[in-house]
């Protein structure tokens, strides 16, 4: 008569092999799903875009009060406090002047050290006469050689094109 084994389960070796295989899969697959740096940069860009929306609305309100909301060439400006002025196009900040965005965002955009090297994480670049790009300056996968209006990790601000029309603010994410 044969003895029937009632023992069920896995041996210790089988369990160790499964754990090692799961560890190898986790090490190779997790970085593809957990790209936290690009997600963090995207969140900062969304914050910059929200700040641009709010700040441009405040500038527009001041332009309406000062009766310069009809200016179409950036020759008029409004005082935003502390003797700081912002040139406006149809009442909104003019994209032709990078200093406008450093002033209205009160941020370290285009910050440089004593040698003229960028020290901040973000800088601006003019893209045509009516668009300015605020872009991430650090190294990352897919970083463009020179910034363009659709460069990854950037926010593009395009001037208002008519009286009463808001400027266009576009976020170009880092994650594709």
Give 111-136 pLDDT, tens digit per residue.
666 776 766 778 888 888 889 888 88
Burial of 153 (0-12, 13-18, 19+ CB in 10 A): buried
What is the distance between the alpha carbons of residues 153 and 171, in angstroms, rounded to a whole number?
A: 8
Q: Is 34 helix (H, G, I), strand (E, B) or coil?
A: coil
Q: What is the pLDDT of residue 126?
A: 84
Share of the chain above pLDDT 70, in %: 85
Q: What is the pLDDT of residue 5?
A: 67
- Residue 24 token pair: 């190898």
Alpha carbon dihedral 96, 97, 103, 109, in 10-degree steps, equals 90
| pTM listed for this prediction | 0.74
Q: How confident is the model at residue 167 (pLDDT cuts 50, 70, 90)?
A: very high
- Tell me: pLDDT of 161 over 80: yes
The whole-number average pLDDT for the span 162-172 is 92
Q: What is the pLDDT of residue 121?
A: 76
- Residue 61 token pair: 């309100």
- Residue 147 token pair: 């910034």
């Amino acid at each position: 008569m044969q003895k029937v084994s009632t023992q069920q389960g896995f041996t210790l070796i089988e369990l160790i092999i499964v754990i090692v295989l799961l560890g190898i899969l986790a090490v190779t697959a997790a970085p593809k799903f957990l790209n936290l740096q690009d997600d963090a940069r995207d969140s900062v860009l969304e914050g910059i875009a929200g700040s641009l929306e709010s700040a441009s609305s405040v500038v527009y309100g001041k332009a309406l009060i000062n009766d310069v909301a009809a200016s179409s060439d950036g020759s008029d400006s409004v005082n935003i406090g502390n003797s700081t002025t912002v040139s406006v196009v149809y009442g909104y900040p003019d994209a032709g002047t990078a200093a406008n965005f450093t002033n209205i965002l009160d941020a370290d955009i285009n910050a440089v050290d004593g040698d003229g090297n960028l020290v901040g994480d973000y800088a601006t670049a003019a893209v045509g006469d009516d668009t300015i790009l605020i872009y991430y300056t650090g190294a990352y996968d897919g970083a463009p050689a020179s910034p363009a209006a659709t460069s990854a990790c950037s926010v593009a601000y395009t001037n208002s094109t008519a009286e009463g029309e808001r400027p266009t603010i576009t976020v170009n994410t880092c994650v594709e």
